[in-house]
């Protein structure tokens, strides 16, 4: 029998969470492989400078009033959630532009034109707030972020970030 493959995105939904030593080791091994690919010049967001950009934005927004207009500082939880979100992105995604907001959220934006863009704002409580503008079409909402990126959000990123 030949080996057929259908391509879907179920891997984004992570693994069933085990607690044995073996479960932890398997998780660690797979994370290492994933990180190695992220480090590659061709595939990875690490090589493309995305994580460095995130570090720089975080450093500039760590203290209150970082914008001179009373902005709230970006919390470390927000920073680390954003990093986790970037690590979970599929390898072929275009790097987003990263910025901070006065309410202390970090924003990832995929921009094609003023009428064709998608942004995700990550808060310190682990919620993602997203907004898409694809011509006349609008899509927005919020959802919790734990250890996987929802299909809904990924599909929206793919409209701009392919």
Positions touching another protein (CB under 8 A) are: 4, 6, 8, 10-11, 13, 15-23, 25-26, 29-30, 33, 35, 46, 51-52, 55-56, 59, 76-77, 79-81, 83-84, 87, 126, 143-144, 146, 150-151
Cβ atoms of residues 88 and 95 within 8 Å: no
Q: How far is CA 5 from CA 2, 10, 34, 74, 155, in A?
A: 10, 13, 21, 43, 20
Quick one: 46 or 100, whose CB is closer to another protein? 46
Quick one: 120 or 122, whose CB is closer to another protein? 122
Cβ atoms of residues 106 and 150 within 8 Å: no
Residue 69 CB, shortest distance to another protein, in Å, is: 26
What is d(CA 35, CA 91) in angstroms, rounded to the nearest whole number? 10
Residue 81 CB, shortest distance to another protein, in Å, is: 7
């Amino acid at each position: 029998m030949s080996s057929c493959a259908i391509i879907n995105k179920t891997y984004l939904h992570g693994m069933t969470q085990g607690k044995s030593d073996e479960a932890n080791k398997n998780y660690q091994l797979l994370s290492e492989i994933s990180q190695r690919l992220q480090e590659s010049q061709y595939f990875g967001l690490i090589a493309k400078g995305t994580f460095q950009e995130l570090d720089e934005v975080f450093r500039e927004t760590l203290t209150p009033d970082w914008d001179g207009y009373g902005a709230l500082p970006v919390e470390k939880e927000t920073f680390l959630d954003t990093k986790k979100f970037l690590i979970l992105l599929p390898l072929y995604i275009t790097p987003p532009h990263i910025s901070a907001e006065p309410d202390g959220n970090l924003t990832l934006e995929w921009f094609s034109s003023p009428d064709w863009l998608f942004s995700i704002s990550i808060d310190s409580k682990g919620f993602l707030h997203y907004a898409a503008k694809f011509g006349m079409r609008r899509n927005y909402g919020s959802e919790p972020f734990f250890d996987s990126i929802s299909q809904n959000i990924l599909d929206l990123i793919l409209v701009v970030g392919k």
